[in-house]
Structure formats: C-alpha cells, structure tokens
Structure 1
Amino acid sequence: MRYCIFISCLIISLSSWAQRKSTSAESTLQIPSKQSPTKKANLPSEKLSSTWAIGISTSTNSGIIGGLSLRKYWLNDEKSQSFAQLDADIIKDYREFTSPYSYNGRSYIEGKLNQLIVIRPAYGRRWTLLQKSAEGGPALKGVLSTGPSIGLQKPYYVDISYTNSATSQAYTLAVPYAKTLDDTYPKAFIIGDASFLKGFDALTPIPGWHVKTGLNLELESFKHNHLSIELGFCLDYFTKPIEMLNQTEGRGVYTTGYLTLFFGKSH
C-alpha cells in the first residue's frame, strides 16, 4: 500500500516536472534568435520642383508698406534657380514733403500733382552663395532679375472746402491737386488727402524697363514652408519723364532700395 502511494506520488512529481520542462522549451523556442541589425535602405530624398512665395516690401521711395510681390521659383538646380516675379509698387519722389498746414489733423503732400504705381513682370535667376549647414540654418543667395516696367500715372486728389459764390453754400469736394492751383475753385482751401481710390479712371500708362539685384537670406523653416528676407536695389527707366511735383522737373529714371519679406510653400 505504501509502495503504491509512493509510486503514485513519484508519477505525479515526474508528470509535473515534465510539464514544466515542456513549457520552458516552448518558451525558449518562441524567443527569436538574435540577429545583426539590418542596415537602413538609403531612401531617395524628396525632390521639390517649385516654390510659390508672396512678398511684402518697403523701400526708400515709399511708405512703410511700399508694394507687393508674387514670385515662383523652379528648383531645377541646387546651385541656381530660375524664377518669375510680378511686383506692384508705389514710387514717390524723394523731394516730396507734407504741408505744414493741416485741418483737423489731416495733412496732404504740398505741390503733388501725380502718383506713380509701377507694375513689374520679370524673369530672373537666383544663385547660392552660402549653403545651409548639415545641421540646418539660413542660406545666402544672390538675385538678379529684369523685365518691363508699366508705370501708371494717377492724378493726386485732395479734399477741399469750397463755397459756391452764387448760392453761398459750402461743399466738400475731392478734386485733383492741380485744380487747386488755378481758378477752378476760387477761395477754396485744402482739407487733406482724398481717398487713394480717387483718380483711377484717369490713369495714364507709361512703358519702361527695370533691373533688380539683391541678396536673399533664406531662413530655416518647417516642412515645406518658405521664408526669406531680401535686400536689394531696383532701377526703373521710363520712356518719358513723369511729372510728380508742381514746378519740379519730371524724371524718367527712378532708383530704389528695397527690403522684402517673402513667405510661401514648396512643392
């Protein structure tokens, strides 16, 4: 009897031991063999074909915001790229000054006869002068472009206070500044600048040509965003002098220093 009990206990113990060994072997078989890490395949970098950018400019011949630019780069070469550009700028004469007389805080440009808006379609090239480092950072590039200049001469309008001598009734009118220099509105006085939109129905186109050159600092950006700052110089030549100020000889050549902030997207 004792022998049977001993045999039974031994069989149960061996069965338990065998089961544990079997489980341990299965676990060992499931552990993957250690392999040497595979080298990553050299995947080709994504190739960008073009960049669209919008620019906001200020210049020596304008106010704080002197114009807008639309530019497209063709990224066909690492060292140089072609681009097309369209500018719309306002050019002022360097001899302009604000009248010392004002009405209720409003002012106007003394003796200003015409305003000049310039549309410049252009083709150009951009060359890499200093490339971005391996860790990233800005790149310095040289820019040169040329194309036609379409000068739009627009009469400069001011608001005047005018009293009709026949009816003794006072009016506030927007008239070209040139009309205040003759007897069209006798005993009228100037209140201040009129709306910039006045005078577009009397635009006079004057053709010309321009050349622009500058340095473009392309900043580090996220993903495919484009951000750059451009500092340069522009020369405009027009086929006839543009009369900007009263009793001042008109000019056909205008030189401008400009600063433009570009932002856009690469594809």
Structure 2
Amino acid sequence: MRHFYTFGFCLLALLGSSLRVQAQSNDEPSYRKEFTYGINFNTRGGLIGGVAVRSTRVLDEKWSRFWGIEGVEVKHPKEQRLLNGATGGSFVAGKSNYMFVIRPSFGMQRVVFRKAPESGVQINALLGAGPSVGLLMPYYIYYDYTLRENGGRAVQEDIRSEQYDPTLHPRAELILDRAPIFTGAGETNVKVGGHLRGALSFEYGRYRDAVAGIETGFLFEVYPKNLMILRAPNISDSALNTNFFPSVYLTLYIGHRS
C-alpha cells in the first residue's frame, strides 16, 4: 500500500506548489464551459474500470471548478477466476458480491501550463471530493445438486442458481458457471461512503470547441464499515474484506467547449 500514499502525497505537493507557478500565458480562455466524458482504468477494476462524465466552468485564466460523476466496478485484490473443465464455465472463487460504485465529485482545477491556442498540451492539476454510493449486488452461480447413483448416473437433475457462499458451496467441481451479472440485482445493498481524488490532466485540443486528453491520479475511498466482496471458510468476513479502497487511476476523455 505504500506506493499509493507516496504517489498521493507527491501529487498533493505538486498541486500545492502549482499555486506558486505562473502560467506561461495570462490570456483569458476563449471558452467558459467544458463537458467531457471518458473511459476509466484503475488498479481496483478489471480491464476497463468504468465510465466518467464531467462538467467544468472556467472562473478565470487559471482556475476552474467542476462537478462530475463516474461509475466503476471495484474488485477485491485477491479475486481468482477458476474454470470448470467439464462445462467450460468460469467463476471467481469465494466471490459473494459484485461491488459497483457511483461517485459524484466536486472540486477545483488549476492550469499549471497553458498551451498555445491551436496546438500543444495543457497541464491541469485538480483536487476533488464527494460521496461514494457503493452497490453490493449478489454474485450468483449455478450449483449442481443432482442426485447420482454409485456409477455416476444422474437420478434426478437439480441445478440451482444461488448467491455464492463457499461454506454452502464447498465443491468447486459442482459450480458449473456464474449466473448472468444482473441475476441478483433486486437484492442489491446500498452503502454510502466518501472519496478524495487528486490528479493531473494532460489536455490536447486542436480546435477551440473540442478537447481530448488523459487524466491520471490517485483516489482514496472509505466507508463506515467493511464491504463484503469475498468470503472464505474459516476466515471472518471482516478479516478478508475492508472499508478502505485506495487506487491509482487513468481516464481517457474527449469532449467539447462553449
């Protein structure tokens, strides 16, 4: 976890020092509003972490304020996908809940380096915070309860879709596959926490009304209680799970200005 804190403190230091850095151009920007949307990648997510949108209002030549919202999936770092060789299905060992998070964010952005009007890269530093709405949705599997004779012939086929619990479903070979992702959507539990983010954005916009760029930074997220994602026999849920979710993220975004 040390690299999360080191990265975060360095980024906060850079944001603070940027208050003393003069932009190379003091010209007023030619736009007042900016709207962007993008794809998020983070160290707590899968191949693609989620999606994000943001609206920014320019205050002066250096400062802007923004609000945004992003939706991501948060995974446990010990998740391990297993394959059922007989059926070709797959599942995550011990996973009892999906965790999806909706994060409204509010914050400030400062220009560290302003690009030329029609070319170059603009560097912005930003700091934001807001609530985190965690959605714990049950992770369902297909478990084979079929009764069989000594020779292995099925007497009565019985395959059930149930929320995965390693104590109730101890035999991995009888887990045929995971159920569709929204099977347990009606049993979703909502947990509310908060988050803090700090980042640098590298913004490229060849035209005055268009923008594209990369934002990279850290995010610290915390909840009042541990959120159960994984379960394991003989290990308490509180020992296996946590209420603190630090991550490093990168967002690719495009948008327009007016």
**Is the CA contact (8 Å cut-off) linking 2:209 and 2:257 kept in structure 1?**
yes
Q: What is the one-letter code of the residue matched to 2:222?
A: Y
Gaps of 5+ in 1: 1-44
Match of 1:140 among 123, 131, 136: 123
Is the partner of 2:101 in helix, strand or coil? Answer: strand
**Is the CA contact (8 Å cut-off) linking 1:163 and 1:187 kept in structure 2?**
no
Return the alpha-carbon distance in structure 2 between the equivalents of residues 234 and 221 of structure 1. 30
Normalised to the residue count of structure 1, the TM-score between the two structures is 0.75
Deviation at 1:100, TM superposition (A): 5.4
1:170 aligns with 2:157: yes
**Is the CA contact (8 Å cut-off) linking 1:68 and 1:88 kept in structure 2?**
yes
Q: Deviations for 1:160-209, whole angstroms, at most 9, x for unmatched residues?
A: 333268x943244332112x6327x9998111222111211011111111
Gaps of 5+ in 2: 1-27, 149-153
Return the alpha-carbon distance in structure 2 between the equivalents of residues 187 and 58 of structure 1. 31
Partner residue in 2 for 1:252: 243
Return the alpha-carbon distance in structure 1 between the equivalents of residues 84 and 173 of structure 2. 14
Deviation at 1:101, TM superposition (A): 4.3
Q: Deviations for 1:81-112, whole angstroms, at most 9, x for unmatched residues?
A: 10001111110111111125444332111011
Q: What is the one-letter code of the residue matched to 1:146?
A: A
| CA distance 1:186–1:65, change in 2 (3 Å) | closer
Q: Which structure has the greater CA radius of gyration?
A: 1
Return the alpha-carbon distance in structure 2 between the equivalents of residues 104 and 168 of structure 1. 19
Is the partner of 1:99 in helix, strand or coil? Answer: strand
Normalised to the residue count of structure 2, the TM-score between the two structures is 0.77
Q: What is the one-letter code of the residue matched to 1:105?
A: G
**Is the CA contact (8 Å cut-off) linking 2:29 and 2:61 kept in structure 1?**
no
Deviation at 1:74, TM superposition (A): 0.3
Partner residue in 2 for 1:21: none
Count of residue pairs brought into register by the alignment = 221
| CA distance 1:137–1:47, change in 2 (3 Å) | closer
> Percent identity among equivalent residues?
26
Return the alpha-carbon distance in structure 2 between the equivalents of residues 129 and 223 of structure 1. 19
**Is the CA contact (8 Å cut-off) linking 2:118 and 2:208 kept in structure 1?**
no
Return the alpha-carbon distance in structure 1 between the equivalents of residues 88 and 206 of structure 2. 44
1:85 aligns with 2:68: yes
